[in-house]
């Protein structure tokens, strides 16, 4: 029976076991997906042991997404570029293959929720410059976006992303975040602001066009203050839960041999 799981610390809050568990049950696959609480100092040891215990792969989450790159035998180009991996495949020869599917999940979610979305319709504006923002930048560049505007409270992190990802990026000062939205076709909150128990994102939306698509990586709550206001302004909105669901699909397919569907049933099972 193939086993997979999610490695992190803490791990109790992770929705991945529900998500993969739902798919295993729906498709009648004999397999298990379990939460694996692992301390950073034990990560290397656990990785050596898991394949011998019947694991075919794993997801990796906070705080291991960056450290895992140094422990894997193969790292995909996009994981190397992003500087983090979230999906591991344990190959029959014992080698560990590390990939990052966050950017794929980001784009697949928008394409499913807003099929009319065109990445090259105009500039994209990204708020935030953490690990999640890096995956979003990589995937938008791949999708053919011509200009990516980026802002972050700590400006140097945005400058660093521009230095790594190149000429299509334009850094805006945090105080200019509202102006950055002027003419943007795609707007993304990649900060943790708006999450339950945190402050809302306070960016003035006056410059936002009703033609733009606004998406938030925060999915608890599903309707963040940003999405509520963007909807009031007539924008197309896409919530962040779908990205979580879509980023999980490539791993499930590799481990359990079936491409899983992402639909309302799954959203209900995970919420
Ligand atoms: P993740 O991997 O989820 O992106 P992260 O690397 O910790 O996590 O990044 C969190 C993002 O939320 C960053 O852009 C962070 O801004 P800083 O780089 O300035 O820390 C942003 N963020 C978190 N709390 C914030 C706050 N109170 N105000 C503004 N930005 C905040």
For range 225-246, the mean pLDDT: 97
Instruction: Name the β-bridge partners of 8.
Output: 37
How many CA within 13 A on the CB side of residue 26? 16
CATH level 3 topology of 3-100+243-270:
Rossmann fold (3.40.50)
Residue recorded with tokens 């792969």: 57
Distance 178 CA to ligand 1 centre (A): 18
For range 50-76, the mean pLDDT: 97
What value does the mean pLDDT of the chain take?
97
pLDDT of 131 reads 93
pLDDT of 193 reads 97
Q: 112-126: per-residue pLDDT in tens?
A: 999 999 999 999 999
pLDDT of 89 reads 98
Residue spans of the domains in the chain: they are 3-100+243-270, 103-239
For range 61-86, the mean pLDDT: 97
Task: Provide the percentage of residues in the chain whose pLDDT is more than 90.
Answer: 98
- Same fold for the domain at 3-100+243-270 and the one at 103-239? yes
Q: 134-178: per-residue pLDDT in tens?
A: 999 999 999 999 999 999 999 999 999 999 999 999 999 999 999
pLDDT of 53 reads 95
pLDDT level of residue 74 (50, 70, 90 thresholds): very high
Q: What is the 3-state secondary structure (H, E, C) of the chain?
A: CCEEEEEECCCCCCCHHHHHHHHHHHCCCCCEEEEEECCHHHHHHHHHHHHHHCEEEEEECCCCCCCHHHHCCEECHHHHHHCCCCEEEECCCCCEEEECCHHHHHHHHHHHHCCCCCHHHCCEEEECCCHHHHHHHHHHHHCCCCCEEEECCCHHHHHHHHHHHCCCEEEECHHHHHHHCCCCCEEEECCCCCCCCCCCCCCCCCCCCCCCEEEECCCCCCCCHHHHHHHHCCCEEECCHHHHHHHHHHHHHHHHCCCCCCCHHHHHHHC
20 upstream amide cis, omega within 30 of 0: no
Q: Tell me if 216 sits within 8 A of 192, measured CB to CB.
A: no
pLDDT of 14 reads 93
103-239 homologous superfamily: NAD(P)-binding Rossmann-like Domain (3.40.50.720)
Q: Tell me if 255 sits within 8 A of 262, measured CB to CB.
A: no
236 is catalytic: no
pTM value > 0.80: yes
pLDDT of 120 reads 95
Q: Quick one: tokens of 66? A: 């960056």
pLDDT of 83 reads 96
The residue whose CA is least distant from atom 16 of ligand 1 is 153
Residue 228 neighbours by CB under 8 Å, 6+ apart: none
| ipTM exceeds 0.90 | yes
Task: Write out residues with Cβ below 6 Å of ligand 1.
Answer: 128-133, 152-154, 157, 190-193, 199
For range 56-60, the mean pLDDT: 98
Pocket test residue of 86, 129, 154, 196 for ligand 1, highest count of atoms within 8 A of CB: 129
Pocket test residue of 152, 196, 197 for ligand 1, highest count of atoms within 8 A of CB: 152
Catalytic residue among 65, 95, 146, 236: 65
pLDDT level of residue 128 (50, 70, 90 thresholds): very high
Q: How far apart are CA 43 and CA 63, in angstroms?
A: 10
Question: For the chain, first and last CA: distance in Å?
Answer: 27
């Amino acid at each position: 029976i193939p086993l997979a799981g999610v490695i992190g610390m803490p791990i109790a809050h992770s929705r991945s076991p529900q998500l993969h568990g739902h798919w295993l049950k729906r498709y009648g696959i004999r397999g298990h997906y379990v939460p694996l609480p692992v301390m950073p100092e034990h990560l290397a040891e656990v990785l050596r042991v898991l394949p011998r215990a019947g694991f075919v792969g794993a997801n990796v989450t906070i705080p291991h997404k960056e450290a895992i790159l140094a422990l894997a035998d193969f790292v995909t180009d996009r994981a190397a570029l992003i500087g983090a991996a979230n999906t591991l495949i344990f190959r029959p020869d014992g080698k560990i293959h590390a990939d990052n599917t966050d950017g794929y999940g980001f784009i697949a979610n928008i394409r499913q929720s807003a099929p009319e979305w065109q990445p090259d319709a105009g500039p994209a504006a990204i708020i935030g410059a953490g690990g999640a923002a890096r995956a979003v930048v990589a995937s938008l560049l791949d999708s053919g976006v011509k200009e990516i505007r980026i802002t972050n409270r700590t400006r140097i992190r945005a400058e660093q992303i521009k230095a790594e990802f190149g000429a299509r990026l334009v850094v805006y000062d945090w105080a200019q975040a509202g102006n950055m939205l002027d003419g943007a076709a795609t707007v993304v909150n990649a900060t943790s602001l708006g999450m339950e128990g945190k402050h809302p994102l306070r960016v003035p939306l006056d410059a936002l066009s009703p033609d733009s698509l606004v998406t938030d990586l925060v999915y608890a709550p599903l309707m963040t203050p940003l999405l509520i206001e963007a909807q009031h302004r007539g924008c197309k909105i896409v919530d962040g839960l779908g990205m979580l669901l879509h980023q999980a699909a490539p791993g499930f397919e590799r481990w359990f041999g079936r491409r899983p569907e992402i639909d309302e049933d799954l959203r209900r099972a995970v919420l």
